[in-house]
Structure 1
Amino acid sequence: MKPPGFTYHRPQTVEEALDVLAEVGPEGKVIAGGQSLVPMMNMRLAAPQHLVDINHLPDLGFVQVEGQDDGRSGVRVGATARHADVERDHDAGRAVPLLQQALACVAHPTIRNRGTTVGSLVHADPAGELTAVLALLGGSVELRSTRGTRTVPATEFFVGLLESCVEPDELATSALFPVPVPRTGSSWVEVARRNGDYALCGVGALVTIDDDRRVRAARTAYVSVGPTPVVLDVTDELDAAPLHTADWATVGRWAAEQLTPGDDIHATAHYRKHLAAVLTERALREAAGRAERGESAESAEQIDGATRARRVS
């Protein structure tokens, strides 16, 4: 199938792109990777009259670890950075291991070579891994327009099925994935019918332990169980248990009961809840093991110091 006709715009600067978006308003769509938009246009599920191509904008293809004003550090991803750029970035993986753990499950390498991380967030597919990763980490998205710049936290960014809070005249220029607190392990697990398919259920987990190897905090996030990513705090259910006695299975069953997935042609709600219970147990156990082994995130300062040391040597 072919898409309906549209006017193609190829701005050369961010300012030019914002001017075009302000002019065309709701009749325009931004295209970067196009891995979601183009199929929707071909199937006539989307019919924008104007297509604004941001692939030629300078300085938006970055992946960098940076410190924040609140003392935390994070991985900032630019609007034209591909999934593969983030997946292969050594410093990003050391700072936020969950990013690469989840990206390994995103479609196929060919898709990851073209699809963009920020574009995936704007698309707001409830089966998309990156939506849950941003929500679990407490990340944010930077939006720019001719009216100014605003930063929207993940809790406010996803507003419904395939719907984010981006206004028609706004461009999502970057997303920030904060580094978890020290001694935090992470994991991403999912089940799909075939490798590369959308997950029937996917679970991300963060587990923080203390010096006595007790669970200090634990959170999980889910895809394909609702119209937006679901995040649960399971800390109280673990009750500061030592890692060797933590009842991950019981927590998994409790978490599944908090979810309200629907039936569709791919799986029943009952099966999705079963998957959520099993995958929650698995994700928490893996995240806790990584925290215990010291496979936790490194701060921007640690990464910057190691990078300087490599350059000196």
Structure 2
Amino acid sequence: MGTLGFDLLALQLFAGVALGAIYVLLAIGLSLIFGMLTVVNFAHGAFFMFGAYAGVFLAARGASFWASLIAVPLIVGAFGLLVERFLIRPLYGRGIDYPLLLTFGLAYMMVEGIRIAFGTLGLPFDTPESLQGATDIGIGFFPTYRLFVIGATAAILLGLWLFLERTRYGLIIRAGARDPQIVRVLGVDVSRVWLLVFGLGTGIAGLAGLLAAPLQGVSPEMGGPVLAEAFVVTVVGGMGSLLGAVVAGLLVGVTVALTSLFVPEMAKVSIFALMAVVLLVRPQGLFGRPGLLS
């Protein structure tokens, strides 16, 4: 009985890591955009939803899931570039409320556009045949696709780390997140960097939507709940902190999974309870900087 209990707990922890991987991808995008642009992107959940529907669109035209893994972030990221260039950029310097309200309205427009194009009912999204079934991980059988999500997230994080730490643009992004004024003085075209960061952040959100589609299906409203959860992760980790987004995403995923095991009706509430506890101890979040919003 004790062994069965341990195995069940360990499998639930793995489920929490898989759920946390989706949270991590969403929070990474939010943190990138906020850390560099100081834009609270309320359309981030809509970009997540857009990525899932882009996968549906490509699948209906014969594209494989593997091809969609490359195409979807490019499509969503390209749309993000247009949003930053023509909608958000004119609002820089007018206060944090202006882009917040704009992205809030943009989210509604994107959801309505999807309803017009694909209908109001949800759509299924089949798990790729090669990733169906379960894999023995030593403590029991775990869904193969969830293991893939964990591995894909780890690969994306590694690629993002290499980009930020080993490339010239990554150096500029990290410097700009700390002191954009100095970056301007050094002659860097900050507007191009902002464009890249917004496109990268939204592209990752679209990829997260594609990865989540086989787990939860696809619907126009799927971005709403996940946006609230992504903001909780971002706040817990610290606004603008990429390390915080990773740690908090996994922490929130594990918290939801364990709460679902012991007190299922409190699963969603546990996210906000965790946020309240963290903010009472560290108002800036686990890895955030004090006064970032001031």
TM-score, normalised to structure 1, is: 0.27
Could you say which structure has the higher helix fraction?
2
Instruction: With a CA cutoff of 8 Å and minimum separation of 6, indicate the structure with the bigger relative contact order.
Output: 2
Could you say which structure has the higher strand fraction?
1
TM-score, normalised to structure 2, is: 0.28
